[in-house]
Chain A
C-alpha cells in the first residue's frame, strides 16, 4: 500500500527525493571505499596510498554527498510531513542513522586524516572500523526508507 502511495507522490517531491537518494548512494560508495581501503591497507604493497585515498574519498566525496543527502532529506521531509510532530518509525530510523552517522563519520574522517598524515595504519584501521559501522547503519536506513515500517 505504501509503495502504491509512493508511486503517486506530487511532482514537486521528485527533485528533493532525487538529491536525497543520489546523495545517500554516493555516500554509501564513499564509505565503502573508506572501509575497504583502510581495513585492507596493511595487506597491500602501498598501504599509505590506500590510506590517503580513503581519507580524500571521505573528505572530497563523502562529506559533500552527506550534505546533499541530508539537505534532500530535510527538503522532502518538509514537503511530506510539514510541521507534523508524529513521525513514522521509518523517518525516525533515518534521522537516527543520519545524526549518529554524522558524528561517527566526522570521527572516522579525523582518524583517516591523522592516519594518512602520520602513516599510522592503526589510526586508519580505527577509521575503517567506524566506516564499517556507518555502512551497517546506512543499509538499515536504506531498508527502512524502502520498506517504511510503521
Chain B
C-alpha cells in the first residue's frame, strides 16, 4: 500500500462521517418534529454532540485529504472542473451547515432553560422544532452533500 492509498482511505472515511452526520441530524429532526416537550429535546443532546464531532471530522478530513490527493495524484489537478465544483460545494456546506447548527443550538439552549425552569410544555419550542429557517438550511445542506457525492463519483469533465 502506498501513501496515496491511505490518503484516499481517510478521505473516504471522512466523507462517510459527513453523510453519517447528516443522517443523524435528519433522524433527530424527524424524531423531535414539532415537539413541545423540552425534556425530549434535551434527551437528544448527547446524540447532537456526536453529530457535531462527525461534522468536524468529516468536513476537515474531506478537505485536507481531498486536496492532498488532488496534489499528490498525477491524474487529478486542483483546477480540474469537478475538483473546483467540489471545493465550492464543500464551502457551501460549511457556511450553510454552520447556520443550521446555530439555529438548532439556540433551540437546544431554549429547551435546557425550559427544563431548568420546570416547564413541561412550550408552544414556542414546538414552533422552533418545526419548519424553521434552520430546518430548511438542513434540507439545503443535505441536497448539497448529495451533489458533492455525485460530483466525487462521476467526476464530470475528468
- Total interface residues in chain B, CB < 8 Å: 47
Q: Measured between alpha carbons, how far is A142 from B1 in the docked complex, in Å?
A: 15
B2 adjacent to A1 (CB under 8 Å): yes
Q: A1-B2, A3-B8, A7-B158 are in contact. Are A22 and B149 (CB under 8 A)?
A: yes
B20 adjacent to A25 (CB under 8 Å): yes
A33 within 8 A of partner (CB):
yes
Could you give, for residues 1-14 of chain A, a 1 whenever the CB lies within 8 Å of some chain B CB and a 0 otherwise? 11110111001001
> Taking CB as reference atom, which chain A residue is nearest B74?
A4
Rounded to whole Å, the gap between the CB of A73 and the closest CB of chain B is 14
Chain A interface category by residue count: 35 or more
B47 adjacent to A36 (CB under 8 Å): yes
B91 within 8 A of partner (CB):
no
B9-17, B99-107, B127-135: which one contacts chain A?
B9-17
> Taking CB as reference atom, which chain B residue is nearest A148?
B5
Q: Measured between alpha carbons, how far is A146 from B5 in the docked complex, in Å?
A: 7
Contact pick for B27, options A6, A17, A40, A61, CB 8 Å:
A61
A143 within 8 A of partner (CB):
yes
A32 adjacent to B158 (CB under 8 Å): no
B46 adjacent to A3 (CB under 8 Å): no
B153 adjacent to A32 (CB under 8 Å): no
Chain B residue contacts of A25, Cβ below 8 A: 15-16, 18-20, 23
A147 adjacent to B44 (CB under 8 Å): no
B69 within 8 A of partner (CB):
yes
Given A29-B20, A30-B23, A148-B5, output 19 extra A-B contacts at Cβ < 8 Å: A1-B2, A3-B4, A3-B8, A7-B73, A14-B153, A21-B16, A28-B20, A29-B21, A33-B23, A36-B50, A44-B42, A44-B46, A45-B39, A46-B39, A47-B43, A53-B27, A142-B16, A146-B10, A148-B1
Query: Can you report 15 A-B residue pairs in the complex whose CB atoms are below 8 A from each other?
Result: A1-B2, A3-B5, A3-B7, A4-B4, A6-B8, A28-B23, A36-B47, A40-B47, A44-B43, A50-B47, A57-B27, A146-B11, A146-B12, A147-B1, A148-B1
A interface, CB within 8 angstroms of B: 1-4, 6-8, 11, 14, 17-18, 21-22, 24-26, 28-30, 32-33, 36-37, 40, 43-47, 49-50, 53, 56-57, 61, 139, 142-150
